[in-house]
């Protein structure tokens, strides 16, 4: 019984995903089909790719709230280059990703320069990126993107609903899962999230790690922006606005603590898919689409509350162990 409880606590998102899937399969027609499952993956491929970067930074003890408009301004830049220049598509994709990396590195630099947490820097940057995106597009949508570019996200393989975007997403998830669980770099990221001071004393070059993590975050957000506008076939200043909420909800559902130092990419994927599955199930059931926002808000509050409960529980248990250790030492003396 205890093992079952521990499994559910460590894999909450997966358990809820299975439960929600079973519920919608039993109550909603056309839900449990291969096509619908692949459509859910296709629609959320860019979200999961972006999540790979944001989960990395959260496990390392930071938080980025500029994700939506970071992706939007990168998407707008990409669309403008595609429609207004004759530069080859691969070069434009590379420029878009490099721009995203540069923006993420700038965030890291400002965080170090100002000496304040990354979350506050990115809140300011989100508004900055939003303003730039609206100015350079003149609040207009950029459409008519080249077919060769749209095929990056919309092209299919083996199955009419299995897109390149989904395959790319799966590859990134596998790679990041391996990096975090099997490499020295991954152990350093967890150490930084667990205790930054202890990580520094253990010989980890914290400054260098923060820049590497920032670069990786920028890479994933750049790729996600390319996939998003490739799938929709257009870009606007608010194309990815609000996506950070879905990502943050999925990551917290996946067991990444708000304070960092723990979590698994596979569970974060389950968290993202749970949020997506609930939205998909509600649509197929004919529910009012605005209920989706209520559901996401409730889920966010619940996972934050559960995370705080876990933190308090661990604190109480650690204090109890310390008291027992002191008592044992006194008795032995």
Give me the pLDDT at residue 189, please.
92
Instruction: Please give the full DSSP string across 227-290, using - where no structure is assigned.
Output: HHHHHHS-B-TTTTTTHHHHHHHHHHHTT--TT-S---HHHHHHHHHHHHHHHHHHHHTT--TT
**Lowest mean pLDDT segment, chosen from 93-107, 178-192, 205-219, 311-325:** 311-325
Nearest to 66 by CA among 78, 77, 79, 53: 53
In a domain, 90, yes or no: yes
Listed in order, strand segments (DSSP E) in the chain are 156-157, 159-163
Tell which wins on pLDDT, 316 or 130: 130
> What is the gyration radius of the CA atoms in the chain, in angstroms?
21
Q: Is 48 within a domain?
A: yes
Confidence tier at 264 by pLDDT (50, 70, 90) = confident
- Phi then psi for 260, rounded to 5 degrees? 90, 180
Pairing of strands 159-163, 156-157: antiparallel
Q: Which residues contact 52 (CB under 8 A, 6 or more apart)?
A: 172, 173, 176, 220, 265
Distance CA 101, CA 224 (A): 12
In which band, very low, low, confident or very high, does the pLDDT at 246 lie, cut at 50, 70 and 90?
A: confident
Which is more confident, 222 or 274? 222
**Do 74 and 222 contact (CB within 8 A), yes or no?**
yes
| Residue showing tokens 């009012």 | 288
User: What pLDDT band is residue 330 in, cutting at 50, 70 and 90?
Assistant: low
Indicate the range of 106-115, 116-125, 298-307, 314-323 predicted with least confidence: 314-323
Greatest alpha-carbon pair distance for the chain in Å reads 81
CB–CB of 79/229 below 8 Å?
yes
Q: What is the pLDDT at residue 323?
A: 67
Confidence check: pLDDT of 88 > 80: yes
pLDDT tens per residue across span 37-87: 888 899 999 999 999 999 999 999 888 888 999 999 999 999 999 999 889
Least confident of 57-71, 194-208, 272-286: 272-286
CA dihedral (45, 154, 82, 130) positive or negative: negative
Report the DSSP beta bridge partners of residue 156. Answer: 163
- pLDDT for 258: 77
Domain count, the chain: 1
Which of 275, 302, 196 minimizes the C-alpha distance to 17? 275
Percent of the chain at pLDDT > 90 equals 38
Cα gap 135→14, rounded to integer Å: 42
Between 20-29, 111-120, 152-161, 314-323, the lowest mean confidence (pLDDT) is in 314-323
Q: Does some domain include residue 276?
A: no
Residue 23's pLDDT is 81
Supply the pTM of this predicted model: 0.88
Are 142 and 76 in contact by the 8 Å Cβ rule? The answer is yes
> Considering the chain, what is the average pLDDT of its residues?
85
Report d(CA 162, CA 176) in Å as an integer. 21
Kindly state the average pLDDT of the residues 157-182. Answer: 90
For residue 293, is it within any domain?
no
The residue segments making up the domain with residue 61 are: 33-241+255-263
- Measure the CA angle with vertex 293, ends 290 and 299; round to 5°: 145
Q: Determine the 3-state secondary structure of 157 from DSSP.
A: strand
Tell whether 237 is covered by a domain. yes
Say if 295 falls within a structural domain: no
The answer to the question of residue 80 being in a domain is: yes
CA atoms within 13 A on the CB side of 216: 23
Q: What's residue 315's pLDDT?
A: 65
What's the rounded Cα separation, in Å, for the pair 204 and 274?
Answer: 35
pLDDT of residue 257: 78
Helix, strand and coil content of the chain, in percent to the nearest 5, comes to 75, 5, 20
Residue 319: per-residue pLDDT: 67
Confidence check: pLDDT of 211 > 90 = yes
**pLDDT reported for residue 35:** 83
Bridge partners (DSSP) listed for residue 142: 235
pLDDT at position 19, please?
83
Q: What is residue 13's three-state secondary structure? A: helix
- Cβ neighbours of 303 (radius 10 Å): 24
Give 194 or 91, the one with higher predicted confidence.
91
Is 326 a member of any domain? no
Distance CA(53)–CA(229), nearest Å, equals 19
């Amino acid at each position: 019984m205890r093992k079952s409880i521990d499994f559910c606590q460590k894999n909450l998102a997966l358990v809820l995903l299975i439960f929600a899937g079973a519920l919608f399969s039993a109550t909603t027609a056309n839900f449990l089909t291969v096509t619908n499952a692949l459509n859910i993956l296709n629609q959320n491929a860019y979200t999961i790719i972006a999540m790979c970067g944001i989960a990395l930074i959260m496990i390392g003890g930071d938080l980025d709230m500029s994700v939506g408009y970071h992706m939007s301004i990168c998407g707008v830049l990409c669309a403008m280059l595609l429609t207004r220049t004759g530069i080859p598509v691969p070069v434009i994709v590379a420029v878009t990703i490099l721009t995203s990396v540069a923006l993420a590195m700038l965030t890291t630099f400002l965080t170090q320069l100002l000496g304040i947490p990354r979350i506050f820097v990115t809140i300011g940057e989100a508004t900055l990126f939003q303003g730039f995106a609206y100015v350079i597009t003149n609040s207009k949508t950029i459409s008519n993107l080249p077919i060769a570019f749209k095929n990056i996200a919309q092209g299919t393989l083996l199955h009419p609903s299995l897109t390149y975007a989904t395959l790319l997403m799966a590859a990134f998830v596998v790679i990041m899962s391996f990096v975090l669980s099997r490499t020295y770099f991954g152990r350093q990221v967890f150490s930084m999230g667990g205790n930054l001071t202890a990580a520094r004393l253990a010989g980890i070059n914290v400054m260098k790690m923060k820049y590497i993590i920032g670069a990786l975050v920028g890479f994933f957000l750049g790729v996600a922006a390319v996939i998003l506008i490739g799938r929709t076939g257009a870009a606007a200043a608010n194309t990815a606005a609000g996506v950070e909420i879905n990502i943050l909800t999925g990551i917290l559902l996946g067991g990444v603590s708000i304070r960092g130092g723990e979590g698994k990419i596979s569970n974060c994927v389950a968290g993202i898919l749970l949020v997506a599955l609930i939205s998909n199930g509600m649509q197929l059931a004919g529910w009012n689409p605005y209920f989706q926002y209520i559901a996401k808000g409730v889920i966010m509050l619940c996972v934050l509350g559960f995370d705080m409960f876990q933190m308090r529980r661990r604190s109480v248990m650690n204090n109890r162990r310390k008291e027992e250790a002191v008592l044992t030492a006194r008795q032995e003396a």
